[in-house]
Structure 1
Amino acid sequence: MFSYRHAFHAGNHADVLKHSTLIALTRHLTQKDTALTVIDTHAGAGLYRLDGDYAQTSGEAAFGIGRLSDVSADSLPEMLQDYLMLIGEFNPGAAYAKSTTPKVYPGSPFILQRLLREQDRLKLFELHPTDSKALEANIAQLDADRQVAVLREDGFGCITKFLPPPSRRALLLCDPSYEIKTDYTRVASLLADGLKRFATGCYVVWHPIIPRPEAHDLPRRLRTLTNQAGKPWLHATLTVKSGKDATGLPASGMFIVNPPHTLQGALKATLPQLVELLGQDRNAAYTLESAGH
């Protein structure tokens, strides 16, 4: 069950969608003074080398963050400008928007930690033995023991540990590898449990869009659960390639429960640009659906 390593996929088109959305979400949620608890259920190693063996083997970053680096930042929507600026902070000296692909790519743990304030707390779950050790070592460099907790545990069990938080404000990111079929069911169960325990939390689910029944069914299950709870939701998808000849990951989506009111407009401006910049064939497209706003 530990065959998946995100180092092969860091900075790909799915990361661009996931992390640009996550940055926009976190920026909004940290505008209020009240402390925010952030939970990352499948944190990975935290930092990745795009010039390392893993990333170079797959070459996926070249079709993700690499394509954005070839574009003038001034021509991009604010959401992507903010994303590139934050990635640039991990690559000092890189001349962004001047055909310079970053060498270091931050995963969600480091993106989130960079955006959080002193009063906020970050809970990172990672069960993979190699990635959890790398995550602990990477986080140790931050000297942020009071703010960041790394747990070598199954992230699907995070709900009972940390929700509801004392401050009654939380953001939960769930993005497992989906390398086993049960991940799809466990994601839906996690959301159902979360909404029962803490209905006002912001829940973010990343999911792959691939030709298997479980992947096709998951967004529908998430919509049903959220509608039954009477909560607003937002679902954005990005397809970069399709058809029977499409190999690898052709598309992915972000499902957000209790999204900030500003997020839909930001995605509406950003998704067409992502299609144009990251699309690999004429079937590249996006969707943006919402309910309860």
Structure 2
Amino acid sequence: MFSYRHSFHAGNHADVIKHLGQMLLIAKLKEKDKGFVYMDTHSGAGLYDLHSDNAQKTGEFKLGIDKLMDYQGSNNDVVNYVELISHYHRHNSYPGSPEIARTLMREQDKLVLMEWHNQEIDNLRHNVSGSNIAIHHRDGFEGLLAMAPPPLPRGLVLIDPSYEVAEEYQQVAQTVAKAYKRWSTAIFAIWYPLIAHRQDSENGHSYAQSKMGKSEGLLAALKQQNFKNLLQIELCVTTKEQGAGMYGSGLAVINAPWQFDERMRAALTELQPMLAQSSDASSSVSWLIAE
């Protein structure tokens, strides 16, 4: 479970949809002066070197954020995302969700960052710091349940595990259901991959096959809960048949704030053609549980 390193995948199409959604949710919380808590259950290193051997080996950022650097559109949310990312991109780096949150948070807001990987926790502590930031070397699922609810009632929880083992999908659903009962005022944003058969190797094929349908199962489990609302957002850069492994990804958002769905839909309309890897790329925003 500890072999996953996000440095291989930093800045890919999945990071784009995940971090755009994160930024919009933080912006919604900042519309009120009162502080809030941002929790990141699987923080990773917080900042990634795009010239590192890991990033260069996969080159996934070249099909992700690199395609957005010349964005000339008028969608303000995409403009804000590209402006933030560009500052790091000029220095051949990409900010993970903890660093993005750090740049956006105010003095009255609190960041709680969790990471269990022994090397990544050291990288996180080196890359992200501040007076209102607490970093915990612990399992994010356990940490979320232990710390919910925090003293500040408003908050955002980003749940972004590696899904290295198939059981993590069920663990996400179970943990979120328990956390929601303790902290029903929080926004929960759950990232998930969309997996297709791989054709590159026997081992890779087996890995992808074991994960196929798991995200759909996760969404079905979440839909059975008594949440106030549940919003599903997906971006597929190609089709399942054409995909080699992860052909897209999504965000499941519990307690999605007013107009968040509309803003994500408008942003994805701009991003989909830029990130498309085939003419069959698609995006969608839909309510699984409507208020």
Structure-1 separation of matches of 2:145 and 2:52: 37
SS at match of 1:173: strand
Asked whether the 8 Å contact 2:145–2:175 carries over to 1, the reply is no
Deviations 1:162-207 (A, max 9, x none): 2112121111000000010111011001110111111111000000
Pairing 1:1-293 to 2, within 5 Å after superposition: 1-72=1-72, 75-91=73-89, 94=90, 103-139=92-128, 142=129, 144=130, 146-211=131-196, 212-225=212-225, 228-229=226-227, 231-290=228-287, 291-293=289-291
Distance 1:270 1:282 in 2: 19
Question: Which residue does the alignment assign to 2:209?
Answer: none
User: Comparing 262-271 with 5-14, which one deviates more in the overlay?
Assistant: 262-271
Question: Residues of 2 paired with 1:248 and 1:209: CA distance?
Answer: 8
Q: SS in structure 1 opposite 2:51? A: coil
1:245, distance to aligned residue in structure 2 (A): 4.2
Preserved contact between residue 20 and residue 83 of structure 1 (Cα < 8 Å): yes
Equivalents in 2 of 1:251, 1:76: separation in Å? 25
Q: Deviation string for 1:72-128 (max 9, x for gaps)?
A: 2xx14111111011112335xx4xxxxxxx611000000001111111111111111
How many aligned positions are there?
A: 275
Tell me the percent identity.
Answer: 37
Does the CA-based 8 Å contact 2:69-2:86 persist in structure 1?
Answer: no
CA distance in 1, matches of 2:213, 2:237: 20
Unaligned runs of 5+ in 1: 95-101
| Residue identity matched to 1:252 | S
The list of structure 1 runs, each at least 4 consecutive aligned residues, that deviate by more than 6 angstroms after superposition, is none
TM-score (norm 1): 0.90
Q: Is the 8 A contact 2:238 2:278 kept in 1?
A: yes
Query: What is the one-letter code of the residue matched to 2:170?
Result: T
Ranges in structure 2 where 5+ consecutive residues have no aligned partner: 197-211
SS in 2 for 1:283: coil
**Equivalent position amino acid for 2:190 in 1:** V
Contact 1:233 1:292 in 2 (8 A): yes
CA 1:243–1:38: 2 relative to 1, 3 Å: closer
